[in-house]
Amino acid sequence: MKQRRRSLRLPHHDYAAPGAYFVTLVTHERASIFGRIEAGRVRLCEPGRIAREEWFRTAELRSNVVLFAEEFVVMPNHVHGVVRIVERAAVPVGAQRAAPLPRSAVAPGSLGAIVRAYKSAVTRRINRLRGTPGAPVWQRNYWEHVVRSEHALAAVRRYIAENPFRWHLDVYNPDRRLG
């Protein structure tokens, strides 16, 4: 019998709906490919710069996405960011709607579609850089949290800003030191 993965998403939430979503994406096997932390500052190498460039390119390519620099950080082996989904422009007169999506498909414009496109773009560019076509860059799936208030958004921003200073305690740090 094929084993089904348990979904991490809220069962009845529309992830294409306008709102703010805090996401964390982790590299394959938590490999530190994006750079290093020195004295609480992130020092990105070329794959880390690619991850940063593609994050902000996401908003350039998608009219329903707004991103802010203070709501994003590339760490050595993961990224944290807030994706803001906004209303799309009205559908032009005479435009045709597509057929309904199969249950398993990711809805266009949804958080899942946005994250999938981002991970794919980063993977393509990093594999081209390293000469490793088809090699995994990311762990499967991603962690998300629907940001429901200004207070919660302030906490997320603080977490993102402080993340490099707390790297020695970070659960994604393979060299983590407790204490």
**Number of domains observed in the structure of the chain:** 1
pLDDT value at residue 43: 97
C-alpha span between 147 and 155 (Å, rounded): 10
Judged against a pLDDT cut of 60, whether residue 117 lies above it is answered with yes
What pLDDT is attached to residue 4?
Answer: 52
- Is the pLDDT reported for residue 178 higher than 80? no
How far apart CA 7 and CA 9 sit, in angstroms, is: 5
Say if 116 falls within a structural domain: yes
Which pLDDT does position 53 carry in this prediction? 98
* Enclosing domain of residue 111: 19-88+107-165
126, 137 Cβ separation under 8 angstroms: yes
**pLDDT for the residue numbered 130:** 97
Indicate whether 72 belongs to any domain: yes
Residue-wise pLDDT tens digits, 132-155: 999 999 999 999 999 999 999 999
**Model pLDDT, residue 94:** 46
Buried b / exposed e over 107-124, threshold 16 CB at 10 Å, is eebbbbbbbebbbebbbe
* Residue 140: Cβ-neighbour burial (10 angstroms; 0-12, 13-18, 19+): exposed
Over residues 73-115, the pLDDT tens digits come to 999 999 999 999 998 754 444 444 444 555 557 889 999 999 9
| CATH code assigned at 68 | 3.30.70.1290
In a domain, residue 12? The reply is: no
- Answer whether residue 177 is part of any domain: no
In a domain, residue 3? The reply is: no
Is the residue at 174 inside a domain?
Answer: no
Residue 170, pLDDT score: 83
Exposure on the CB side of residue 43, measured as CA atoms within 13 A: 5
Say if 34 falls within a structural domain.
yes
pLDDT tens-place string over residues 18-69: 999 999 999 999 999 999 999 999 999 999 999 999 999 999 999 999 999 9
* Domain assignment present for 120: yes
